[in-house]
Amino acid sequence: MAGVARGLLNLPVAKRAACEFLGSTSVKSMLETPCASEERVRTKPSAADVFAEELARWLGPHTARRAVRTFALRALGTTPEQLLQRDVSRLSAALRPMLKTLLGNSQSEQVLRAVAARFEP
């Protein structure tokens, strides 16, 4: 019984809870096989994530996230988490002057085209 308890304690808490909830009956099966809850579900990235990914190539990940957050709040009055696809053009327009200053005209337009292309059906 001590081996079973030790095996359970070595599992991460989330995996242990998910396995128990899903009904895995043995410690060995919990240790050796992934639970169904561990499968990653691919979701569509948010508008803020798309902007941050494209900007990160030029500005770095932290600066890109801060730029998206700052311009979403100032220009659109919303948090990055609340950005919708319809806000893409307005956020692009708000970011354009800053990007032109930092990257130059051609690179800034390239970044904004890449963002727009990610939202086209």
Which pLDDT tens digit goes with each residue over 43-88?
A: 778 899 999 999 999 999 999 999 999 999 999 999 999 998 889 9
Q: CB 109: neighbour CB atoms within 10 A?
A: 14
d(CA 35, CA 19): 6
Mean pLDDT of 87-104: 94
Q: What pTM was estimated for this model as a whole?
A: 0.62
